[in-house]
Structure 1
Amino acid sequence: MTTAFAAAPVTVVVTGVGAIIGQGIVRSLRACGMPVRVIGVDRNAESMGAFLCDAFYPKPACNEQDESYLAYWRDLVATEGAQLVIPGIEIDVEYLAGHRAGFAAMGVTLCLNTDALIALGQDKWALAQALERAGGELAALAIPGMLDSDWASCTARLGPPPLLLKPRHGNAGRGIVRLHDDVDLRYWRHKAGPGFMIQRIVGSDDEEYTVGAFGLGDGDMPAPVVLRRRLSPAGNTGYAEVASDAAIDRATRALCAHFKPLGPTNYQFRKEGDRLFLLEINPRFSSSTSLRTAFGYNEAAMSLAFYLHGRRPADAVLAPGRAWRYSEDFVSHDRHPL
């Protein structure tokens, strides 16, 4: 007579569980079909995301470049027996990428993209330049833009207003403003400070797409998931529907072949007639993570298979549909009884 034993749970640390991406990763881990123990990390000690996790560690109040912060991670990894760390916010992607050797010494695996793509994803101007250097179909994806200049030069090169002023570094639409004239440019140049770029506005809000593609590091990837979306006022995906678009699929595969991403990678596109433009590449999990999981594309499950077991994720079987994001209350009476 044989006795079946359940597989021991995998212990995964997810950072930024107070934010939508981290919470989406946690929910996707819960839906992965295998036992997972989730350890949450967040700067906010009162984060609601803590209730989604099996254990929670607030970040210490120290500079993240201090040795004490790395010691915090050593204690957490050792205490919990963590096997994989998944960053849910960009600052944690940057920190983990800068301390790969330290985490390797802890014996824990990091769910991280390549250093090259992480750096490129942090600078929209550098990405546009990289597309233009690549030439061909990739150069055609670059949005016409320029660095700081006078209004006459901007309109001569980019066309009539409105134009967009956006930070070279940033995400979720933060700091992006429309410029209608020279007064706007001078005002927002002063407010934005250094490190911005100016672009032509391409496409419309009705033709914006977010694409999830799991890079294998060699230019290959399983089939991607394409969602046509509308942004919420917070700058993340508020509405999404599964889309099938041959041009976006080809462009995503071309980008993957050229940049060779590793792990969860998010591409954002806009269409203008028959023309496709790349808004940005996020070499990490996306705010659409939980929506993608609901449609059958579970990047957290793919990460467990790939980073911990070296297995190529299978092509996802996608379910068609639409999704809306909305607010609801989360109430706990056990921690703060009335």
Structure 2
Amino acid sequence: MTTAIAAAPVTVVVTGVGAIIGQGIVRSLRACGMPVRVVGVDRNADSMGAFLCDAFYPKPDCDEQDDGYLAYWRKLVAAESARLVIPGIEIDVEYLADHRAAFAAMGATLCLNTDALIALGQDKWALAQALEQAGGELARLAIPGTLDGDWAPCIARLGPPPLLLKPRHGNAGRGIVRLHDEVDFRYWRAKSGPGFMVQRIVGSDDEEYTVGAFGLGDGDMLAPLVLRRRLSAAGNTGYAEVVQDAAIERATRALCAQFMPLGPTNYQFRREGDRLFLLEINPRFSSSTSLRTAFGYNEAAMSLACYVHGRRPAEAVLKPGRAWRYSEDFVSHDRHPL
């Protein structure tokens, strides 16, 4: 009789485990059905997310451009024999993308999208311009906007207020304000600095959608999961409902064919009448990661298949349903989790 040998666990480093995205990635790894050892990283040494991990490394108190920060990563990757590094916050996406060669030399694979889409996802104005330049159905997804620094040209181009002022660079609704008149505009223009844009408000809070679609890097993708959602006060998904929407899936596939994402990619839409508008593309894991896993769309498992094992991930078997986010206490009577 032969005895089956259990596969050695793959060590995966997840950053930002003190925040909702990082914690969602960790929970999704635990549910992936493969042997995984999870190493958490966070700026906060007392992060609750450390309790979810098998090992935890607080980030050093130094600038991320210092050589000491890269040395920290070399030591961590070597000590843990890390195979895959997954960024859970946007600043880590940027850092890892800037240091691809260094991590390759360490022997660690980075769960990152393409440099082109990472750059485009960081600039909402550039994304809108790219949609308009693509033409056809993609151009119709672009929200009317302007970079004009004066109120009169804004309303001449976009119509009567209220309008939205938002930073070109940012996520989770940070820095977005409603402009009801020129007084608002002048105040928030001064507070926001030069990197802002003004857009027409499209759709309603009841017609907002977040879509998870794992890109394969060549314009193809796995079938998406579409969630109708409502935002929480923190700017992330507070309520989600699985929906079947042929128009949103068609738009998502068109965006994928145009921008050729690789790995977890999040598309956010609003509907106004019979027209869809693209709010943004996040070329990374999103705050809805754990919700998607609960509905059968486990992007962490897909990432292991794609980045570590070099194979096309299996199509998800989706479950219908709704989800709500709520707060609860986490209590430990031990001083340190690990």
- 1:47-196 paired onto structure 2 within 5 Å: 47-196=47-196
Question: 2:179, 2:222 → 1: CA distance?
Answer: 40
Q: What residue number does 2:269 align with?
A: 269
Bigger mean CA deviation after superposition, 286-295 or 144-153: 144-153
Q: Distance in 2 between matches of 1:28 and 1:148?
A: 43
Counterparts of 1:311 and 1:221 in 2: how far apart (Å)? 13
How many Å separate the matches in 1 of 2:97 and 2:248? Answer: 29
Offset at 1:148? 2.9
Alpha-carbon shift at residue 334 of structure 1 (Å): 1.4
Structure 2: distance between partners of 1:245 and 1:94: 32
SS at match of 1:315: coil
Query: What TM-score, normalized by structure 2, do the two folds share?
Result: 0.99
Name the residue aligned to 1:244: 244
CA distance in 1: counterparts of 2:260 and 2:152, whole angstroms: 39
1:149 Cα deviation (Å)? 2.7
- 1:17/1:49 contact within 8 Å kept: yes
Where 2:267 maps in the other structure, the secondary structure is strand
Q: Which residue of 1 aligns with 2:325?
A: 325
**Structure 1 residues 305-314 or 45-54, which shifts more?**
305-314
Give 1:10 deviation, angstroms. 0.6
Shift of residue 220 of structure 1? 0.2
The answer for the alignment partner of 2:20 in structure 1 is 20
CA distance in 2, matches of 1:314, 1:29: 16
CA distance, structure 1, for counterparts of residue 295 and residue 264 of structure 2: 16
Whole-angstrom distance in 1 between the partners of 2:313 and 2:68? 37
The whole-number CA distance in structure 2 between the counterparts of 1:109 and 1:151 is: 48
Report the Cα distance in structure 1 between the residues aligned to 2:234 and 2:263, rounded to whole angstroms.
26
Task: Specify every segment of 5 or more residues in structure 1 that has no aligned partner in the other structure, as ranges.
Answer: none
SS of the residue corresponding to residue 6 of structure 1 reads coil
Following the alignment from structure 1 to structure 2, what is the Cα–Cα distance between the partners of residues 272 and 301? 34
- Give the equivalent residue in structure 2 for 1:293: 293
CA contact (8 A) 1:128 1:143 kept: yes
Q: Distance in 2 between matches of 1:185 and 1:162?
A: 10
- Does the CA contact (< 8 Å) of 1:86 and 1:111 recur in 2? yes
Question: What is the RMSD of the two structures over their aligned residues, measured on CA atoms?
Answer: 0.9
CA distance in 2, matches of 1:331, 1:206: 36
* Secondary structure in 2 matching 1:72: helix
Contact 1:148 1:196 in 2 (8 A): no
Question: For 2:264 and 2:139, how far apart are their aligned partners in 1?
Answer: 23
How far off is 1:150 after superposition? Answer: 1.6
Q: Give me the identity figure in percent.
A: 89
Residues 111-151 of structure 1, C-alpha deviations (whole Å, 9 max, x = no match): 00000000000000000000000000000000000003321
Structure-2 separation of matches of 1:335 and 1:179: 48
Residue 335 of structure 1, CA deviation: 1.2
